[in-house]
A and B are shown apart, each in its own frame.
Chain A
Amino acid sequence: MRWPAPSTVRWAMLVVLLALWEFVPTTGVIPELFLPALSKTLYVLWVDKHIYFAALLVTLYEVALSMLIACGLGILVGAVVGGLAVLRNLLLPIFSSLYAVPIVILYPIFTAWFGIGSQSKIAFAGIYGFFPVMLSTAAGIRTIDPQFVLAARSMGATLPQLITRVIIPASVPTVFAGLRLGGALTIIGVVVAEMLTASAGIGYLVTLNRTILDSPRVFAGILAILVLSIAYYMLARALESRMVVWQSAGKQTRAASRDAQVAVAAPAAA
């Protein structure tokens, strides 16, 4: 018997999940307070579409600006720290350990400094996403194959040429991995910040509706964030695979062979 392709199974799982979401609550096994049906959630989303759309715009605006901070600052600082041995030895251990700190603990300070408006969300999420971008940029630059640099020098490359033609393209794959993670963290940062202290945004709507026990509207907010994150992830992947043809090609063959191994192992386990 042939096993269906993994992507088919994934789509089937999604359909089953959505079907369960729709039909389990209607049977009355789970009270609506815990899990309102999918149709009900979509219905309130439709009824309140102006409210949710406005909130989504606020969230998107905050995410966009904090991503700009995280990526811009992360790449800049990462390049300098990764490129200069002195700074690397001095700062990298500090940054690495700061990355492990739950930065959300600092959010009350951010609201004290920047108020409860968008600024505090942008600053907080920007710093939240900054660390992975900065660390992977530093790693990307530090781990470039020295043969590339040597070869380019032997061909007469000047220092600016070395940086633009060799070091930057060679570090793109590692930097991109950091950007994807950093971007995802800024979304988390913005939503968490909105849920804690805010007056607008999807996170704020979720907290507001939870306090008045309006479950369908809570789930509508969750759904909106879910769609936003998945859209972001797919966009990042598409961008990455376009930019890094040479890297993703290698990854795909590895992933394919891994899938093949899983497929071989699965019937044996069954």
Chain B
Amino acid sequence: MQHVANLSDVRGRVGEAAIEVDRVSHVYAGPEGGVPALQDISMSVGVGRFVVIVGPSGCGKTSLLMMMAGLRHQTEGRILCYGRPIPNPDPERVGVIFQEASLFPWLSTLDNIEFPLSLRGTPREERRRRSQAMLSLVGLDGFGARYPHELSGGMKQRVSIARGLVQDPPVLLMDEPFAALDEQTRMTMGHELLRIWSTTKKTVVFITHSLTEAVYLADEVLVMSARPGRIIDHIQVTLPRPRTYEMMATDVFGRLRDRIWQQIRKAD
């Protein structure tokens, strides 16, 4: 794990904000005038925190995440990442992991993980070394030469995570990364993600539809309303870490999940 510790250069200190969202609103241009998608969203993600956003379908969660990644622009308000706006994607600060694994089918696993580095012209030696390190971090040693179509859904998502981590950004944005996986794989992947998170000390913003996943993974859960999306609840998950599967059966876990469910039902 030595190489991983060296790669992790966590900018900012615990207690400071990695991402600040300040009164962000967004209106889509629709065929019959503007459609309000997000309304007056303010939130702050502390360095090293694991923040989960839940909300009904179409509430603008993904839009918000895309704005944090610099992939989309809000109509109002501002988003700061380490104190600076993010008008364009900046892989030095933010890595994004998508819903479908979105691996390039024409590249081998290792080439997929290397892709972001090769875009920046990182020397071949270093690329190989770093992608190999990421491959073992996600537990896929020996699968580097395989192509995506030769991997299972869970393995693809692991590669996707490795690709998001390879540039060592302090922030990871994850847009329902496990949505396409079956229940069991999903649980295992959540557990894996927590392990990787605790090794790499990243700040994570994670979107999901699964309430169990939200409580299991999060330090904080933000609940959004239906369109136009607003933040209607902010829940601190006080369960100790490391999280275990047994915790899911506890009353605390059940009460937290229930509270989120009540909010979402109200919001819908």
Residues in A lying within 8 Å of B, measured CB to CB? 145, 147-148, 150-158, 161, 165-166, 169-170, 172, 244-247, 249-250
Task: Classify chain B: how many residues form its interface, as a range.
Answer: 20 to 34
> Is B116 in contact with A155, judged by CB distance below 8 angstroms?
yes
- Interface residues of chain A: helix, strand, loop or mixed (majority): helix
With contacts A147-B98, A147-B102, A150-B98 known, is A155 near B119, CB below 8 A?
yes
> Is A156 in contact with B120, judged by CB distance below 8 angstroms?
yes
Residues in B lying within 8 Å of A, measured CB to CB? 69, 71, 89-91, 94-96, 98-100, 102, 104-106, 115-116, 119-120, 147-150, 163, 167
> Is B106 in contact with A172, judged by CB distance below 8 angstroms?
yes
Residues of A within 8 A of B167 (CB): 155
Partner of A246, one of B89, B94, B148, B163: B148
Task: Report 25 cross-chain contacts, Cβ distance below 8 Å, ordered by A residue.
Answer: A147-B99, A147-B102, A148-B104, A150-B71, A150-B102, A151-B96, A151-B102, A152-B119, A153-B89, A154-B71, A154-B89, A154-B95, A155-B89, A155-B116, A155-B119, A156-B116, A156-B120, A157-B119, A169-B104, A170-B106, A244-B106, A245-B147, A246-B105, A246-B106, A249-B147
CB distance from B173 to the nearest CB of A (A): 8
Q: Taking CB as reference atom, which chain A residue is nearest B106?
A: A169
Q: Taking CB as reference atom, which chain A residue is nearest B147?
A: A246
- Interface residues of chain B: helix, strand, loop or mixed (majority): loop
- Number of A-B residue pairs having CB atoms within 8 Å of each other in the complex: 61
Q: Taking CB as reference atom, which chain A residue is nearest B103?
A: A151
Residues of A within 8 A of B89 (CB): 153-156
Q: Taking CB as reference atom, which chain B residue is nearest A151?
A: B102
CB distance from B66 to the nearest CB of A (A): 8
Residues of A within 8 A of B115 (CB): 152, 155, 165
CB distance from A61 to the nearest CB of B (A): 34
> Is A145 in contact with B102, judged by CB distance below 8 angstroms?
yes
Excluding A145-B102, A151-B96, A157-B119, 15 further A-B contacts by CB distance (< 8 Å) are: A147-B98, A150-B71, A150-B98, A150-B102, A152-B119, A153-B71, A154-B94, A156-B116, A161-B119, A165-B115, A169-B106, A246-B148, A246-B149, A249-B147, A249-B149
> Is A155 in contact with B91, judged by CB distance below 8 angstroms?
yes
Bound CA span A155–B89, Å: 7
Bound CA span A246–B119, Å: 22
Bound CA span A134–B96, Å: 35
Residues of A within 8 A of B116 (CB): 155-156
Bound CA span A139–B102, Å: 20
Partner of A147, one of B100, B149, B163: B100
Q: Taking CB as reference atom, which chain B residue is nearest A161?
A: B119
Bound CA span A147–B97, Å: 11
Q: Taking CB as reference atom, which chain B residue is nearest A243?
A: B106
| Centre residue among A148, A150, A158, A244 by max chain B CB count within 10 A | A150
CB distance from B11 to the nearest CB of A (A): 17
| Centre residue among A165, A247, A250 by max chain B CB count within 10 A | A165
Bound CA span A153–B90, Å: 9
List the 9 closest A-B pairs by CB distance, nearest first: A155-B116, A154-B96, A147-B102, A246-B105, A151-B102, A156-B91, A169-B106, A154-B89, A155-B91
Bound CA span A8–B8, Å: 59
Residues of B within 8 A of A245 (CB): 106, 147
Bound CA span A147–B66, Å: 12
Residues of A within 8 A of B102 (CB): 145, 147-148, 150-151
Residues of A within 8 A of B98 (CB): 147, 150-151
Q: Taking CB as reference atom, which chain A residue is nearest B167?
A: A155
> Is B119 in contact with A165, judged by CB distance below 8 angstroms?
yes
Residues of A within 8 A of B96 (CB): 151, 154
Residues of B within 8 A of A148 (CB): 102, 104
Q: Taking CB as reference atom, which chain A residue is nearest B89?
A: A154
CB distance from B150 to the nearest CB of A (A): 8
Bound CA span A156–B94, Å: 10
Q: Taking CB as reference atom, which chain A residue is nearest B112?
A: A151
